[in-house]
Structure 1
Amino acid sequence: MQKFQRSSPRLPARFPARFSAMLASAAIAPLAAVAFLSACTTTTTADTPGAGASLSQTQSDGPQRWELVRWQQADGGLRELPRGDSGQPVIFEFNSGIDAAQGTVSGNSGCNRFTGSYGKTSTGIRFDKIAGTRMACPGDRMAFESALLRAMQSPLTTVASQPSAAPQGRQIIWKTADGDLLQFAEREGVGRRGAKIDAASGTEKIVYIDSQRVECTGVGRMQCYRWRETEDAPWKLWYGPIEGLDFEQGVAYKLRVREYQVPNPPADASSIRWQLLKVEERRRGG
């Protein structure tokens, strides 16, 4: 693991008008129509993990996964967000949720995996003791990762948040020390927020996942997992995410998952969900 200095992931083209208006200025006013909370203060080096008020009006509800969906630079320009070899976005995983006073964080920073800690400050969040793997990626992804890790070296100010009751799900915007705005959206697994389900209704099963994702067609062109229930069974396609799995291209997996039936799923979503319980085996090369 490469140790970084003390410190410590694209939005659809139809970016909601309410966010465009909100991001037009660093002085962000409350948007009552979408229940945004805003703050325009600036963090200082006096902020320490675990200090200050909560990031939002909710309490920690366990592990949370957040995707970086937009990066607006201080001059108004947008930084292009990278995707991994299998299409994975930039994801932050907070072990106790972003509302916790402190905890551990891990995820994908554009190229490599990172781990570290985080804590609340009086105006936002702070990342600390961030270390990452040392895999080489194309130059644009490496440059993005360097910029993100550099931004995480200073506390981030919460300038707006959208509660989970909103139709698009919970979102938050943090401002970097350089004035850039980082917008994150809460995710289940690496995909969209799923429908609420009864945990008691799930059944455990073992699935084998191929080492390569393949191009497939759902409501559009996408990348699918290849899976099977036994090692000698023919491959099938899995169109959705596997919640909790950070898939690494070139690595085959034997997983224990909980399978849920989703009542009344959206037209473009599966009626079945998989939640990772345990990685039983992983081997490189399939």
Structure 2
Amino acid sequence: MHSRTSLFPFSLAARSAAALLVAVMLGACTTAPAPDLPSAGTNLNQTQPSGPSRWELVRWQQPDGAQRDIPHGDNGQPIIFEFNEGIDAAQGTVSGTSGCNRFTGSYGKTDTGIRFDRIAGTRMACPPPRMELESALLKAMQTPFATVGTQPSAGSTGRQIIWKTAGGDLLQFVEREGVGRRGASVEAGGVEKVVYIDSQRVECSGVGKMTCYRWRESPEAPWQLWYGPIEGLDFEPGVAYTLRVREYQVPNPPADASSIRWQLLKVESRTRAK
């Protein structure tokens, strides 16, 4: 295991993200789209119905091809956009984290992409790299983004989209799980505990074939399978987590559901797997 770096890891998600960006850049040099990339007009609802969705900014490429570092928050929080009606909706509200502060506003589809309106945020101060990135992002959001590439889900990698800003930057977002959970108030009761989450989920059998987290109670303990979600966790394949969670007993759970559930309190650490 190695500590997180600012560049993209060679995980499945990262290779897919990089491949999508390369395809977009190659397609931009020709009059036809890249052969393995859906057109910019492709509707992402082909892989998921409408409804709330959460997207993480995973790559920022500047017009000269240089990659901009995307720092995470004090507790490992990524830059997240949450669309209340889904990314394909004609309009709706958007909220999330912009690098340092939380923001809210509205969004609407355009003929070529998406626009953001009435964006407002909190005013907390953060280290300079995070403040600089946030300022650049919020400035870019003042003008519409053009959609230059989309990709449906592939394996453990969520749906992806690349937007081009008016200044020529390419912003690549990947859909993450845990919609609507982060920031929710912590319920009363339960037991607080620390758990260690493996960097990859594995196939397991529940009601049918599914993927499960691997977790353990200490770095030396054997791995166990966790069949349910971890409420509030934006899991990124290729990253191992140490989490502080609150564990609740579920009264009268369905026959095919777990009798306990976890709600995320804090990301203690994130570690990239080699």
* TM-score category (smaller protein): 0.5 to 0.7
TM-score by length of 2: 0.62
> Deviating runs (4+, > 6 A) in structure 1?
252-263
**Secondary structure at the residue paired with 1:70?**
strand
**Secondary structure at the residue paired with 1:125?**
strand
Structure 1 position 143 matched with structure 2 position 140: no
Moved more, 111-120 or 60-69: 60-69
**Secondary structure at the residue paired with 1:119?**
strand
**Which of residues 1, 25, 31 is equivalent to 2:34?**
31
In structure 2, C-alpha distance between the alignment counterparts of 1:142 and 1:257, rounded to whole Å = 40
- 1:23, CA displacement in angstroms? 2.8
In structure 2, C-alpha distance between the alignment counterparts of 1:152 and 1:12, rounded to whole Å = 27
- The 1:106–1:253 alpha-carbon spacing in structure 2 relative to 1, beyond 3 Å, is farther
Structure 1 position 17 matched with structure 2 position 6: no
Alpha-carbon contact 2:96-2:104 (below 8 Å) kept = yes
**Secondary structure at the residue paired with 1:38?**
coil
- Show the counterpart of 1:7: none
Alpha-carbon contact 1:55-1:158 (below 8 Å) kept = no
Alpha-carbon contact 1:260-1:273 (below 8 Å) kept = no
Matching of residues 171-190 of structure 1 within 5 Å: 171-189=160-178
Alpha-carbon contact 1:55-1:98 (below 8 Å) kept = no
Alpha-carbon contact 1:262-1:272 (below 8 Å) kept = no
Q: CA deviation digits over 1:78-112, x for unaligned, max 9?
A: 10011011111111000010000100110010000
**Which of residues 59, 66, 72 is equivalent to 1:70?**
59
- Show the counterpart of 1:112: 101
Matching of residues 162-201 of structure 1 within 5 Å: 162-164=151-153, 168-189=157-178
- 1:17, CA displacement in angstroms? 3.4
Q: AA paired with 1:118?
A: Y
In structure 2, C-alpha distance between the alignment counterparts of 1:256 and 1:149, rounded to whole Å = 38
In structure 2, C-alpha distance between the alignment counterparts of 1:124 and 1:72, rounded to whole Å = 18
Q: AA paired with 1:36?
A: P
In structure 2, C-alpha distance between the alignment counterparts of 1:78 and 1:31, rounded to whole Å = 21
Structure 1 position 243 matched with structure 2 position 246: no
Structure 1 position 102 matched with structure 2 position 99: no
- 1:184, CA displacement in angstroms? 0.4
Moved more, 113-122 or 181-190: 181-190
Matching of residues 206-217 of structure 1 within 5 Å: 207=190
The gaps in structure 1 that reach 5 residues or longer are 1-9, 40-53, 191-203, 221-226, 228-238, 247-251, 264-270
The gaps in structure 2 that reach 5 residues or longer are 1-6, 180-186, 201-216, 218-225, 235-243, 266-274
Q: CA deviation digits over 1:7-64, x for unaligned, max 9?
A: xxx743453435324235644743343x52236xxxxxxxxxxxxxx85454752110
Q: AA paired with 2:115?
A: R
Q: AA paired with 2:33?
A: P
Identity, % of aligned positions:
56
**Secondary structure at the residue paired with 2:125?**
coil
**Secondary structure at the residue paired with 2:124?**
coil
TM-score by length of 1: 0.59
Matching of residues 51-62 of structure 1 within 5 Å: 56=44, 58=46, 61-62=50-51
**Secondary structure at the residue paired with 1:141?**
helix
Alpha-carbon contact 2:23-2:34 (below 8 Å) kept = no
Alpha-carbon contact 2:21-2:162 (below 8 Å) kept = no
Q: CA deviation digits over 1:153-196, x for unaligned, max 9?
A: 00000001012367633100000000100000011028xxxxxx
